Amino acid sequence: MAVNRMFRTCPMTGLRVHQPAEALIKANAVAAVVSLLVGGVLALLVTLTRWPAVHLLPADWYYLVLTAHGINMLIFWIIFFEIAVLYFASSTLLGCRLAAPRLAWFAFLLMVLGALINNYAVFRGDSSVMFTSYAPMGAHPTFYLGLIVFAVGALIACFVFFGTLIVGKEERTYIGSVPLVTFGAITAAIIAVFTIASGAIILIPTFLWSVGLVDHIDSLMYRTVWWAFGHSSQQINVSAHVAIWYAIAAILFGAKPMSEKVSRFAFLMYILFLQIAAAHHLLVDPGLTSNWKILNTSYALYLAVVASMVHGLTVPGSIEVAQRAKGYTKGLFEWLRKAPWGNPVFSGMFMSLLGFGFLGGISGVILGTEQLNIIMHNTIYVPGHFHATVVLGTTLAFMAVTYFVIPAIFRREVSFPKMAQWQPYVFTLGMTMVCLFMMGAGTLGVPRRHWDITFAGNPLGFEFPGMAFLMMGLMGIGGVLAVVGGAMYLLVTVHSVFLGKKIQTPGFAQVRVVEGAAPAPAQPVSAALQAHGGVGAWSAPGTFALAMVFLTAFVLYYFINWNYLSTVWPLR
């Protein structure tokens, strides 16, 4: 069978883009944005229902909408986008052809089919089982079938990615180690394989149970194995968005990591230990011993937390070093003040880094501590935490890189540039409010996934303090603002891709590249993205000052929670 070896050299970046890879990146990115659109509309409905003064939907619709919102956002939006990232980080960054493009299209079609089947199941109205779908709460068989079909497609896409790494190595389009951004994508793909395998282990028997071929699904067994799928799927995001942080630092500043060795080692810590963070969902479950819980959270997980702190230090550190080299050396923060805050690629990435670290990271460690977990377990603090990691961290990073992808891959100018400039700020402000007020309300005991916290009409009522209602109201305002920010992103993206002005480049052509061809001469952006070696300098005082602020906030908040725990169960 003839192999498509048509490439174009991107005039903007100097990267060599394989024709089929480009088409697949576009298709997966478009599917991701469609999922985001569906999930975003549903997010507005969820927000307006949990805002006590509005309380929009009736109970049955609320649980239906919440289920669809969770799956469309946490699975479909994120994983479609991640597959686009994998193809970019392998084929484009290695300058090689994508392995098995037809198989990749088959994977894409399976993923689309799976997403459609699952949404069909949820919107039928008999599968409002939430993202977690805890057995013995049963959904329609098509609910599980949709997820399985989607997961098979994603797994095939991961192996196309691994195949592309082999193609690059065999055809010698790169020499030595893969670039750091590609290494981050490898990390994401490895976690994806574990995630999907875990999903298969639990979702296939559950599907068989839903059609009556299996008698019983043990609820604790389900929860334990399901979380290896459910939480690990979010760890794919972490690896992918960290890779994007490094990519954006290289693209915008020509920044090299402060130490490539340390950054790669931090990714290795992710590969080994990030997935087991899933155990924090089971910290209050009887049946699993403290040995299992503590090793999987408070020991091994901390190695992955340290890895995140390494990335959180080295990405802004590398930007600071690059900025200082350009002459922004005044004081601690001139490099940061003079950064391109009007460029949504940078502003989105930097706010993603701050939101992920300060809000998502710290609250994640609190939830991962067995003793502290009991204070907030299954309260709205938990969605507060994961909206900080998955939305402020991952979604915002994906939004930021989209503003680079539109001209580089779609060859279109970004429409409504002013709106694009403001979009990350509006989205960050709204989502920060959502996260903070969810966490605040959760600390006061407000449950997650609860239609009515007033318990109106129930024989056993419970009255939350007025502060809890205030926080839920402020969360609602923040949620609406975040939806506005999301809508701005969708408007800019969809308009740019379908109606945006085409970027014309004189002499632009697709070129057939023979097997084993040497990479095209690198231009600045591609050189930075594909380069190796750290800057070998640790002269980033501003970043270290920021790191100290982070560590102080971390320690203070950690001990505040221990103090809070002591008031929950006072020793007399």
Partner 1 sequence: MPEATRNVTSQVSDELEEGIPVMQHILDNPFILLFLGVVVPTVLYVIWGVMEIIGIPIAK
Q: Minimal distance in Å, beta carbon 16 to partner 1?
A: 14
Number of H helices, E strands in the chain: 22, 3
Say if CB 249 and CB 315 are below 8 A apart.
yes
In the complex with partner 1, the residue whose CB is nearer, 42 or 300, is 300
Site for partner 1 in 312-371 (CB under 8 A): none
In the complex with partner 1, the residue whose CB is nearer, 189 or 435, is 189
Q: Of residues 23, 41, 197, 484, which one binds partner 1 by CB under 8 A?
A: 197
For residue 57, state whether it binds partner 1 (rule: CB under 8 A).
no
Q: Minimal distance in Å, beta carbon 319 to partner 1?
A: 24
The two tokens of residue 552 are 């102080």
**Alpha-carbon span 170 to 515, nearest angstrom:** 10
**Alpha-carbon span 252 to 287, nearest angstrom:** 50
Please list the residues that pair with 447 across neighbouring strands. Answer: 379
What x/- string results for residues 117 through 156 when contact with partner 1 is judged by CB under 8 A? ----------------------------------------
**Alpha-carbon span 24 to 503, nearest angstrom:** 20
For residue 290, state whether it binds partner 1 (rule: CB under 8 A).
no
Site for partner 1 in 167-196 (CB under 8 A): 172, 175-178, 183, 186-187, 189-191, 193-194
Site for partner 1 in 225-264 (CB under 8 A): 225, 228, 232, 264
In the complex with partner 1, the residue whose CB is nearer, 136 or 287, is 287
Q: Minimal distance in Å, beta carbon 197 to partner 1?
A: 7
For residue 221, state whether it binds partner 1 (rule: CB under 8 A).
yes
Say if CB 465 and CB 415 are below 8 A apart.
no
In the complex with partner 1, the residue whose CB is nearer, 187 or 318, is 187
Parallel, antiparallel, or unpaired: how do β-strands 511-512 and 16-18 relate?
unpaired
For residue 5, state whether it binds partner 1 (rule: CB under 8 A).
no
> What single string gives the DSSP state of each residue in 183-237?
HHHHHHHHHHHHHHHHHHHHHHHHHHHHTTSSS---HHHHHHHHHHHHTHHHHHH
**Alpha-carbon span 210 to 188, nearest angstrom:** 31
In degrees, to the nearest 5, what angle opens at C-alpha 489 toward C-alphas 488 and 495?
A: 90
Q: Minimal distance in Å, beta carbon 215 to partner 1?
A: 15
The two tokens of residue 8 are 């174009």
Q: Of residues 103, 130, 262, 295, which one binds partner 1 by CB under 8 A?
A: 295
The Cα-based distances of 201 to 136, 194, 196, 221 in angstroms read 16, 11, 9, 11
Q: Minimal distance in Å, beta carbon 198 to partner 1?
A: 7
Name the phi and psi angles at 502, rounded to 5: -70, 140
**Contact stretch for partner 1 (CB under 8 A) within 64-72, 197-205, 308-316, 539-547:** 197-205
For residue 61, state whether it binds partner 1 (rule: CB under 8 A).
no
In the complex with partner 1, the residue whose CB is nearer, 96 or 117, is 96
Site for partner 1 in 411-470 (CB under 8 A): none
Residues found in the chain: 572
Residue 233 burial (C-beta neighbours within 10 Å; 0-12, 13-18, 19+): buried
**Alpha-carbon span 562 to 553, nearest angstrom:** 14
Residue whose entry in the numeric block shows the structure tokens 């539109």: 406
The two tokens of residue 386 are 């994961």
For residue 516, state whether it binds partner 1 (rule: CB under 8 A).
yes
For residue 224, state whether it binds partner 1 (rule: CB under 8 A).
yes
**Contact stretch for partner 1 (CB under 8 A) within 283-291, 344-352, 359-367, 496-504:** 283-291
Q: Of residues 2, 289, 502, 504, which one binds partner 1 by CB under 8 A?
A: 289
For residue 549, state whether it binds partner 1 (rule: CB under 8 A).
no
Q: Of residues 91, 92, 142, 275, which one binds partner 1 by CB under 8 A?
A: 275
Q: Of residues 131, 292, 422, 544, which one binds partner 1 by CB under 8 A?
A: 292
Q: At what angle do helices 466-499 and 417-443 cross, to 10 degrees?
A: 150
- Interface positions with partner 1 (CB under 8 A): 162, 165, 172, 175-178, 183, 186-187, 189-191, 193-194, 197-198, 201, 218, 220-221, 224-225, 228, 232, 264, 268, 271-273, 275-276, 278-279, 282, 287-289, 292, 295-296, 300, 514-518
